[in-house]
Structure 1
Amino acid sequence: MKILAFAASSNKNSINKKLVTYAANLAENAEIDIIDINDYEMPIFSEDREKELGQPQQAKDFYQKIGEADAIIISYAEHNGTYTAAYKNLFDWTSRINQKVYQNKAMVILATTPGPGGASSVLNTAVTSGPYFAANIIGSLSVPSFYDNFDSETGKLSNQALNDELKAIINKL
């Protein structure tokens, strides 16, 4: 099984990247491709830019990465209750190639923040909207208070209940 994993964040030290990396590595007998959305940075989407630029190669490459995977794991950062601008822009450009961005892939959707909300607003948005974009969501998990529930030295969830829940979700892939 090929798993594509990424944090929907442009932060180079993203806690969501730490979480998604840990989650992806829980999958047994899987080939894991962890990408950085900074490698797909493009101008802010607009119809005018689309007419001028066409479909940027970065959007094509991102769409192809999704197509090559058997499953996807995304961990969403939350900015003001919704997607980061970096991820939303990548998604918008990619959706112009094909609105079914996620190509019916099995998906695990995660989110975390340093605070107690655990990015639950953006997680709810992703879970609710995902099926409109051909996401086959098999599980989701919010990790609140990241620094209290994740051991950055070992790179693992330290909260046993959250860890067990994450393992159960990953095992569904």
Structure 2
Amino acid sequence: MSVLAFAGSNSSASINYQLVTYTVSMIENHNIRRFDMSGKPFPMYSMDRERDDGIPGEVTGFLDEIRNAAALIIAVNEHNRNFSAYFKNLIDWLSRADRNFLAGKQVFLMSTSTGQGAGRNSLSLALKTLPRFGATITATFSLPSFGQHFSPAEGGITDAELRAAHRKALDTFLEELS
């Protein structure tokens, strides 16, 4: 089964992308395609641009990646209690190219942040938004205080309870793919 994994952040130091990378390292027997969004500068959506230039090639290329995947792992970052402008812009473009761009896709939705909130506002918003485009959210996980609870040198999530909760959510997602 093919799984596309990415973070809703275009930062080269994205902690959400680090969470994605950790998560996919635990998956076996599936074809994983990790997509680093830091190298994907999508133009800012506007009706004028769409009318004058159509859907940009970068967007249609990413839409093809989504269409070729059976499932998605997405970690959404949070800016000011909302999606990042980057992720919202991506959703705007994708939904203009295909209103049901997530139809038939099972999604493991995650978030993390440097604070105790763990990006839960953005996660909650994604839980409401992504199904409108056809997604089925099969599991969720949020990791609070990333710097305190995650260490690449120590193998990822360092808190035993959070590590177990992440594993349980990942297993739920993978069971739904079977």
Find the aligned partners of 1:155 and 1:111 in 2 and give their Cα distance. 18
Q: How does 1:53-64 map to 2 (within 5 A)?
A: 53-64=53-64
Greater RCO (Cα-Cα under 8 Å, separation 6 or more)? 1
Given that 2:112 and 2:145 are in contact with CA atoms closer than 8 Å, whether structure 1 keeps it comes out as yes
Contact 2:111–2:119, Cα closer than 8 Å, also in 1:
yes
Extract unaligned runs of 5+ from structure 1: none
- Please tell me whether residue 170 in structure 1 is matched to residue 142 in structure 2: no
Give 2:78's aligned residue: 78
- Aligned partner of 2:129 in structure 1 is 129
Paired position in structure 1 for 2:44: 44
Quote the residue 2:140 is aligned against: 140
Please give the per-residue CA displacement for 1:100-153, whole angstroms capped at 9, x wherever unaligned. 121221110000000110011000000122211111100111110001111132
Q: Answer yes or no: is the 8 Å Cα contact 2:10–2:40 preserved in 1.
A: no
User: Once structures 1 and 2 are overlaid, which stretch shifts more, 145-154 or 11-20?
Assistant: 145-154
User: More deviation in 101-110 or 11-20?
Assistant: 101-110
Q: Relative to structure 2, which stretch is displaced further, 130-139 or 30-39?
A: 30-39
What letter is aligned with 2:38?
N
The residue matched to 2:28 in structure 1 has which SS? Answer: coil
Root-mean-square deviation (Å):
1.2
Structure 1 residue matching 2:153: 3-state secondary structure: coil
Matched, 1:28 2:28: yes
The answer to whether the 8 A contact 2:75-2:109 is kept is yes
Give 2:27's aligned amino acid: A
Q: Identify which range, 110-119 or 128-137, moves more after superposition.
A: 128-137
- Partner letter of residue 5 of structure 2? A
Contact 2:10 2:39 (C-alpha < 8 Å) held by counterparts: no
Partner of 1:115: 115
Q: Does 1:97 align with 2:97?
A: yes
Unmatched runs of 5 consecutive residues or more in structure 2: none
Separation in 2, partners of 1:11, 1:40: 10
Q: TM-score, normalised by structure 2?
A: 0.92
Q: Which amino acid aligns with 1:58?
A: E
Residue 2 of structure 1 and its aligned partner are, at CA, apart by: 1.2
Do the aligned residues in 2 keep the contact of 1:40 with 1:59 (CA within 8 Å)?
A: no
Q: Distance in 1 between matches of 2:166 and 2:128?
A: 20
Q: 1:94 to 1:155 in 2, by over 3 A?
A: farther
- Per-residue deviation at 1:155? 4.5
Counterpart of 2:126, as a letter, is A
Q: TM-score, normalised by structure 1?
A: 0.95
| Cα distance in 1, alignment partners of residues 116 and 73 from structure 2 | 22
CA distance in 2, matches of 1:145, 1:121: 15
